[in-house]
Amino acid sequence: MEVEVIAAPTFIDNIFSPLVSYTEGAKEKFGASAASIVIIQDNKMLTEWYSGTHHFKNGSLVVTHDSMFNLYSLRKTYVGLATAIAVVESELSVDRKVSDVLTNRPEYELGNTTIRDLATKSGAKYFGPNRIEREEVARDLIKELTEFNIAQLIT
């Protein structure tokens, strides 16, 4: 069933047009009902773009700057970003085994998990007999590589 979509007002700096095109394509590819981009730098709005509706049912509201959504799994985004920053700053390969870097966890708990596995959230979600969460292992890795916690590293 097709839903008529009325475009929401947008402000797009031409430099971000490729990002908007990519995001629109990803929205279609993954079957999302909506997507948006807001880029702010130095307290100045550089780009604001919205596309789609809140859901696929008839009567769904068009997504605008006033739209509100639940942000499930937002922590994963911050942990992934912090992991990427830590790896770049430490000049490690993302294919390095986590157990080569983390000395506070036995190798048998981490297995062959790589930094890439942690950053992309692939592989095991829990480690060892105490079922330590993947994000906790990433947190320890970030601290080991940078001497900062996640909040300190990304702010």
The Cα 127–Cα 57 span in angstroms is 40
The Cα 118–Cα 142 span in angstroms is 11
End-to-end Cα spacing for the chain: 44
Position 72 scores a pLDDT of 66
CA-to-CA separations, 68 to 39, 65, 146, in angstroms, rounded? 17, 8, 35
Residue 120 has pLDDT above 90, yes or no: no
Closest CA to 35 of 51, 47, 48, 21: 51
Residue 12 has pLDDT above 70, yes or no: no
- pLDDT tens digits, 34-57: 998 888 888 888 889 999 998 889
Mean pLDDT of the chain: 85
DSSP lists the bridge partners of residue 51 as 35
Residue 14 has pLDDT above 70, yes or no: yes
